[in-house]
Amino acid sequence: MVAASKEFVFHHTFKDVSQLEDGDFFKSPEEIHYNAEWFILVIRTKDQLEAYLHCDNEKDDNVAWTVDAEFSLKIASSSGSYAMKFQKGCFDGFGLGWNDFVSWDSLTEDFLYDNSFTIEACVKITKMTGFSKDVLRSFDESEKRFSDVILVVGDEKFYVLKLFLASHSSYFNALFLGKFKEADQSEVTLQNIDPTDFQSLLEVLYGEPAIDDGTIDGVLLLAHMLDVTLAIRKCEEFLIEKSMKSMRELLKMANQYQLENLKTVCISKINTIDEIEAAMAYNPEEMDPIVLATLLKKSTALHRSAISDSV
């Protein structure tokens, strides 16, 4: 099985930069990814711009938690030049970053546009501890009499039915009904899977409302990896109907997981220049070519309409 890689990208445009004086700071809005809250903090200290990535446990501040991650922060100019730094570290309530990310002179001379600059964070989570969720359905030993296999995920055991999982997943169908040795085992270990995400995935399969903006990253990643079509459909329905994620993030997820209905709905909601700008990825090359072409076509039509109205 290919390991599920918990990766995401987010960015924020900081405006009115000339207002920053020594000791002043800007903080980006918080974004939820994999049950954690993330934000970027920039500080002006004399002739430097400091930049930090922060992570918080959105569920419970009273428990010990850690997130091991590799990340980079990057700012780019309109000419194509950029400043970027990379770091590996452990988040445990404090931000990680650099007190000399870029000099203030370089920022103002090379990276400001309309008194603003955009900073991008690329994050790859390698390990999370202390992050939990409300359990909507138990799959512990109390379910032993209703199960025929134990799945060991991390340090947790899940008592489940082989045929039920096989009916929902081509991966489990091959694992339990194919010629693999696991088909005859009463206890099977699944590698490279987060037990909290697996709990949420099972809850979705059993009809529980386990999907929200905190859990959906992990559920969708795992459902895609294990080819659980029902969970993928439920995630897409949530993203269309209930999610509070930005249009840019929704389009990215639609592209990453081939969610065609989500892509169609998102495009239909983008009808102004501001909405187009908000939907565009920091790097347009990362966007679905069809979405990019459609947005450029809408932008051209809007500009032509504006010119016509002004004549």
List, for residues 71-80, the tens digit of each pLDDT value.
999 998 877 7
Phi, psi of 233 (to 5 degrees): -65, -40
Please give the Cα distance from 198 to 137 (Å, whole number): 12
**C-beta of residue 105 within 8 angstroms of C-beta of residue 95:** no
Q: Which CATH superfamily is domain 141-240 in?
A: Potassium Channel Kv1.1; Chain A (3.30.710.10)
Q: Beta strand 149-153 with 187-190: parallel, antiparallel or unpaired?
A: parallel
Pick the CATH number of 6-129 from 3.40.50.9100, 1.10.630.10, 3.30.420.240, 2.60.210.10: 2.60.210.10
pLDDT given for residue 1 in this prediction: 57
Please give the Cα distance from 160 to 148 (Å, whole number): 6
What tokens were used for 165? 């999982």
Q: How far is CA 56 from the centre of its chain?
A: 15
Q: How far is CA 58 from the centre of its chain?
A: 14
Beta strands in 237-307 (DSSP E): none
- Where along the chain do its domains lie? 6-129, 141-240, 249-310
pTM of the model: 0.84
**C-beta of residue 218 within 8 angstroms of C-beta of residue 6:** yes
List, for residues 202-233, the tens digit of each pLDDT value.
999 999 999 999 899 999 999 999 999 999 99
- Fold match flag (6-129 vs 141-240): no
**C-beta of residue 51 within 8 angstroms of C-beta of residue 111:** no
DSSP 115: T
Average confidence (pLDDT) over 107-126: 92
Residues 81-88: contacts with CB under 8 Å, at least 24 apart: 81/110, 83/110, 83/111, 85/51
pLDDT given for residue 51 in this prediction: 97
Beta strands in the chain (DSSP E): 6-14, 25-27, 31-33, 36-45, 48-57, 66-76, 82-91, 96-103, 117-129, 149-153, 156-160, 187-190
Measured CA angle at 208 (ends 202, 212), to 5 deg: 90
Report which of residues 57 and 49 the model is more confident about: 49
pLDDT given for residue 304 in this prediction: 84
List, for residues 18-55, the tens digit of each pLDDT value.
889 999 999 999 998 998 999 999 999 989 999 999 99
Q: Is 291 exposed, middle or buried (0-12, 13-18, 19+ CB in 10 A)?
A: buried
Q: Using CA atoms in the order 253, 258, 259, 260, what is the torsion angle rounded to 10 degrees?
A: 130
Q: How far is CA 123 from the centre of its chain?
A: 9
